[in-house]
Structure 1
Amino acid sequence: MSSAIAVIDFETTGMSPAQGARATEVAIVLLEQGRVVDRFQSLMHSGAWVSPFITQLTGISNEMLRTAPPAAQVMREAARFVGQAPMVAHNASFDSKFWQAELALAGESAPQLFACTMLLSRRIYPQAPSHSLGHLARYLQLPSTGRAHRALADAEMAAALLARMQQELCTRHALPWPGHELLMQLQRRSRAAADGWLAQQAAPSLLAAR
């Protein structure tokens, strides 16, 4: 059974598909045991208008999207790329909504569960001055991946953050490599309860190693 995790980032015309916002770009980075094994990235044309503010923020213009492939086509390709892999995003409540909404418009299902690197970072690095992706990258001195607010650069950064946190869990808590299910359980714990819960997860592996 594959241990791949799909780390995703969208650029969009607004904050919520419920308010009519559409995706303009999607990128997905596949990680296995903390190592990047594949990437997917595409602009996507939905016919939605991109405001000057969004163009300034992302660098994505209406002109660029006119020649981009149709959104439904891109999302079907993205769904095939992800396959059965569980998913991760930074501020996953945002990206998961667009994943579900854009796939629904393409006539595809979106069964994947999402873990969130923002929630996880609050459990693992509570001392960080900020838990935004850019601030965490600087705090942890992660390598630069390119312009912020472009989907591939942000997906690469979130993937690097995820791999660092997985490694941190291994070294700090003597855990085997933490998979998606453990990450999902950890993000549901309060910060106060996280360390005690992690110690409980480490105990069986420590006993097995004796």
Structure 2
Amino acid sequence: MYAILDIETTGGKYNEEGITEIAIYRFDGHEIVDQFSSLVNPEKPIQPFVVNLTGINNEMLRNAPKFYEVAKRIIEITDGCIMVAHNALFDNRILTTEFDRLGYPFEKQTLCTVELAKKLIPDMPSYSLGKLVRSLGIPLTDRHRAQGDAKATVALFKMLLAKDISKEIITETLKKDPKRQLAPKLLDIIQNIPSETGVYYMHNEAGNVIYIGKSKNIKKRLTQHFTSDNRKSKKIQHEVKLVSFEKTGSELIALLKESEEIKQNKPLFNRGLKRSNFSHQLTSFVDENGYINLQIEKADGRKKAITTFSNYQQAKTALFKITEENQLCQKLTGLYETKKQCFNYTILECFGACINKESVTEYNNRVQTFLDKRSYENLNMLIIDRGRDVGERSVILIENGVYKGYGFYNLNHQINNPEILKSIINPMQNNRDAQHIIQNYLRRNKVLKTVNLSANMAN
């Protein structure tokens, strides 16, 4: 649990500032579960430059509660939380100083979104809150007011959690959390897990990730893990002490995250999933008569694949569908072995490429149309799908045929700038597994839409 906050002060000498406004959002890693904000009477005048910066003046604070009057609420809303702030050292020092004056030891573990952003989003022109969130397409209202800045920090931290592919934040959080209770029963562990699409992470007592999985219903899948009596499940049940999760909304993003994060984190119980996700591929060649032929073969990284398949039967079923939808010849797609005409020619469903009757140009045009449609080589596109909640969409970026990564954006702040798009994208590896997952998913499932990108970024 996190307490994400922002504090405005009177300004002045180091350790002599007083709090003029505070806002705190209690955040469970997925959504805000409680919030508090208030002006605070600092019992000292505000520096003029601060008045100009924040708009908060002495008159506004005359009847505001003093710090001791809001201290109890601050303690309650931050109880058991890691404190998160932009320049967390400053906010922590201010709060610690105020509580010291009351004789109360206010000690919190902290995470700083400035430091996290520098690590997870390198090479940004500025890491000041205003400029950073603007670069990332995060809305910010009431700049230099506690509630507006804290709300923007929540959105920034949520983005940083998503970009943390190596899961360092959650692992460090678990290690830092002094009040973390190790659930005595497996069912207690999944009590607050949602029945939604996403990726889940099983942690051992040290907080390290020991298993990564994905599901369209995380709670249901975890229940299966914890009620199975096979050997692997029994070992997991013995080792797991806590489960964290990330909602993705999109099953495609869940598949991609699972594949990437297993490779990166190498969890103990994911050994069987480190191999490739596909065994067969579809390739093409031109025969002696000039016709483009399609064929299924075993996956081979040395050869260029049109698309890949998890197994041979899946490949054969897909090729039958491709042949039918594009009016291709079963002989030239390797589905009907013969030295004469194919079966479809005898029932007038093939135009005769099998016996050199159809024009090479006409036949190859249909094959090429299929190839252009199926392959995203050299293509710039967005794959838009459901987000983690109603007001959000997920986006996957393909640039010059290369999978660049995924991100999320608010429907009220649609993507219309290539730089903002690239800043919200969580960079991912463009390996053959990722290509297989995307192609296989698009072949078998519907997404909300795909968008071809021109010189002017469209949404």
What residue ranges of structure 2 are gaps of 5+ in the alignment?
177-260, 274-459
Match for residue 192 of structure 1? none
Note the alpha carbon deviations across 1:145-176, whole angstroms, 9 max, x for none: x1111011111111110000101114xx4x49
Match for residue 204 of structure 1? 267
Look up the SS of the partner of 2:5 in the other structure.
strand
Asked whether the equivalents of residues 24 and 44 of structure 1 are also in contact (C-alpha less than 8 Å), the reply is yes
Post-superposition shift, 1:82? Answer: 1.1
- Worse-matched range after superposition: 8-17 or 34-43: 8-17
Asked whether the equivalents of residues 23 and 150 of structure 2 are also in contact (C-alpha less than 8 Å), the reply is yes
Q: Kindly report the root-mean-square deviation, in angstroms, between the aligned alpha carbons of the 2 structures.
A: 2.6
**2:77 counterpart of 1:69:** no
Match for residue 178 of structure 1? 170
Look up the SS of the partner of 1:178 in the other structure.
helix
What residue ranges of structure 1 are gaps of 5+ in the alignment?
185-197
Alpha-carbon distance in 1 for matches of 2:71, 2:62 = 17
TM-score of the two chains, using structure 2 as the length reference: 0.38
Look up the SS of the partner of 2:161 in the other structure.
helix
Distance 1:101 1:57, change over 3 A: same
Asked whether the equivalents of residues 73 and 106 of structure 1 are also in contact (C-alpha less than 8 Å), the reply is no
Distance 1:15 1:30, change over 3 A: farther
Asked whether the equivalents of residues 6 and 82 of structure 1 are also in contact (C-alpha less than 8 Å), the reply is yes
Post-superposition shift, 1:35? Answer: 1.4
Alpha-carbon distance in 1 for matches of 2:114, 2:29 = 20
Alpha-carbon distance in 1 for matches of 2:150, 2:45 = 24
Distance 1:208 1:117, change over 3 A: farther
Match for residue 84 of structure 2? 88
Alpha-carbon distance in 2 for matches of 1:83, 1:67 = 28
Distance 1:209 1:10, change over 3 A: farther
Asked whether the equivalents of residues 92 and 116 of structure 1 are also in contact (C-alpha less than 8 Å), the reply is yes
Look up the SS of the partner of 1:63 in the other structure.
helix
Post-superposition shift, 1:182? Answer: 6.9
Match for residue 146 of structure 2? 151
Alpha-carbon distance in 1 for matches of 2:37, 2:268 = 38
Alpha-carbon distance in 1 for matches of 2:13, 2:271 = 47
Match for residue 135 of structure 1? 131
Alpha-carbon distance in 1 for matches of 2:136, 2:117 = 11
Matches within 5 A, 1:46-61: 46-61=42-57
- Pairs aligned (count): 189
> Which amino acid in structure 2 is aligned with residue 178 of structure 1?
I
**2:10 counterpart of 1:13:** yes
| Bigger radius of gyration | 2
TM-score of the two chains, using structure 1 as the length reference: 0.80
- The structure carrying a bigger helix percent of its residues is 1
Alpha-carbon distance in 2 for matches of 1:167, 1:155 = 19
Alpha-carbon distance in 2 for matches of 1:115, 1:183 = 13
Distance 1:201 1:66, change over 3 A: farther
Match of 2:20 among 20, 24, 37: 24
Asked whether the equivalents of residues 100 and 110 of structure 1 are also in contact (C-alpha less than 8 Å), the reply is yes
Asked whether the equivalents of residues 76 and 108 of structure 1 are also in contact (C-alpha less than 8 Å), the reply is no
Alpha-carbon distance in 2 for matches of 1:17, 1:28 = 23
Distance 1:32 1:180, change over 3 A: farther
Alpha-carbon distance in 1 for matches of 2:137, 2:175 = 22
Asked whether the equivalents of residues 10 and 42 of structure 2 are also in contact (C-alpha less than 8 Å), the reply is no
Post-superposition shift, 1:39? Answer: 1.1
Look up the SS of the partner of 1:88 in the other structure.
strand
Note the alpha carbon deviations across 1:125-154, whole angstroms, 9 max, x for none: 11211111111101110123x111101111
Match for residue 193 of structure 1? none
Note the alpha carbon deviations across 1:35-81, whole angstroms, 9 max, x for none: 12221101111311012211111111101111001111112221122
Of structures 1 and 2, the one with the larger relative CO (CA 8 A, separation 6+) is 1
Match for residue 443 of structure 2? none
Alpha-carbon distance in 1 for matches of 2:86, 2:130 = 11
> Which amino acid in structure 1 is aligned with residue 9 of structure 2?
T
Distance 1:147 1:160, change over 3 A: same
Identity %: 33
